[in-house]
Structure 1
Amino acid sequence: MIARLTGELAAKAPPYVLVDVHGVGYEVQVPMSTFYNLPELGAKVTLLTQFIVREDAQLLFGFLTAGERESFRELIKISGVGPRIALALLSGLNTEELAQAVSAQDASRLVKVPGVGKKTAERLLLELKGKLAPVLSAPGFSVANDAQGDILQALVALGYSDKEAQAALKALPADVSVSDGIKLALKSLAR
């Protein structure tokens, strides 16, 4: 599974971006919330990703924050909500607005998003109730440097959730090496 990409931003054409990682170009679909916060072409970019394999396609979705990616993952778990609608929701509402709409059970905010009808909005509110609040109560989390990104990726690969891995990462010193960071994070997670 592809969990993160770091490379040069080669092209931008909503909702797609092209990230050149050492000569390999990855076409990544991103929500508009991520698209508007991308650096200029040619700059280095790091995207947290979700890789989806279907019978007819292999799709890669990218996000600047772990909160966006976690919201996307929760959305696509819902019956009748695929990646296209999940991207539309994250493009029309930021993660905080989505969490507020779910906690207030406000279907009118969701139906304003193209592709989301009344029934889908009601299903979203029902199935997301209590699931987005813990993910979004913390401010958006982004990876500060490559070492932290590698530590985060290692913890997720070891079976820890994004939330657990991020909490452990926040407790580490900013200048920690990857190997020392993994050891310290595992010690803190074992408590």
Structure 2
Amino acid sequence: MIAKLRGLLDGFGTDFAVIDVGGVGYLVFASTRTLAQLGAIGDEVVLHTEMLVAEDSIRLIGFSTAAERDWFRLLVSVQGVGARVALAILSALNADELHNAIAAGDSRMITRAQGVGPKLAQRIVLELKDKMGGVALGPGAAGGTAPIPAGSHAQDAVSALLNLGFRPAEAAAAVGKAETELGPEASLDQLVRTSLKMAAR
């Protein structure tokens, strides 16, 4: 399982990039938002990745942040949403916009993504609102505030709890409580450990 790539940007296309890691070129599919943030050919880049294994292929999907990867996982859990559609949605909407659309039940906003019609957008809103428990992948969302910044220790702690099998709402709530107790300067290790204690209460 490949979870992250760090290497040099060797090339890119409309929906993919090639990352040179120690002389090996990894073909990584990504949203247009992620591709736009990679920089110039030859620059060092870091991508969170998700490996998709099918009968006839193995594909790597790349994300500029752990938050985008977590949204991808949620999106492809919806019936009728494959990797291509999920990336189209993440190209059209950033994490905050997607959360707000789902929380508000605004399926029309999701139809901005290429290949997403009204029926599929409605299904995405209904299924993900239930899975999220009305809470974004960030501890501040439950109180109606903005989700935590992508790439922060809090966001990484939420991602760590998701990888351990916690539901998004549970992970966000636990990390939110831990961050309140420890303060904004808490390390990732402190946040994860305290979040696990909070979730066990």
Band of TM-score, shorter chain = 0.7 to 0.9
User: How far apart in 2 are the matches of 1:38 and 1:162?
Assistant: 30
Residues paired across the two proteins, number = 173
Secondary structure in structure 1 of the residue aligned to 2:72: helix
User: How far apart in 2 are the matches of 1:79 and 1:86?
Assistant: 11
Secondary structure in structure 2 of the residue aligned to 1:129: helix
Secondary structure in structure 2 of the residue aligned to 1:133: coil
Query: Alpha carbon RMSD of aligned pairs, Å?
Result: 3.0
Contact 1:107 1:121 in 2 (8 A): yes
List per-residue Cα deviations over 1:57-92 (Å, max 9, x = no partner). Answer: 111101111110000000001111100100000001
Secondary structure in structure 1 of the residue aligned to 2:109: helix
> Match for residue 133 of structure 1?
135
TM-score (norm 1): 0.77
User: How far apart in 2 are the matches of 1:10 and 1:19?
Assistant: 6
Unpaired runs of 5+ residues, structure 2, are 142-146, 179-184
User: How far apart in 2 are the matches of 1:80 and 1:38?
Assistant: 29
Contact 1:5 1:47 in 2 (8 A): yes
Q: Within 5 Å, which residues of 2 pair with 1:16-27?
A: 16-27=16-27
* Residues 44 and 188 of structure 1: CA distance in aligned 2, closer, same or farther (over 3 Å): same
Contact 1:50 1:60 in 2 (8 A): yes
> Match for residue 71 of structure 1?
71
TM-score (norm 2): 0.74
List per-residue Cα deviations over 1:14-60 (Å, max 9, x = no partner). Answer: 21000011011110011111111112111111100010101121111
- The offset of 1:143, in angstroms, is 7.4
Higher relative contact order (CA 8 A, sep 6+): 1
> Match for residue 35 of structure 1?
35
Contact 2:110 2:121 in 1 (8 A): yes
> Match for residue 95 of structure 1?
95
Contact 1:29 1:60 in 2 (8 A): yes
User: How far apart in 2 are the matches of 1:64 and 1:35?
Assistant: 8
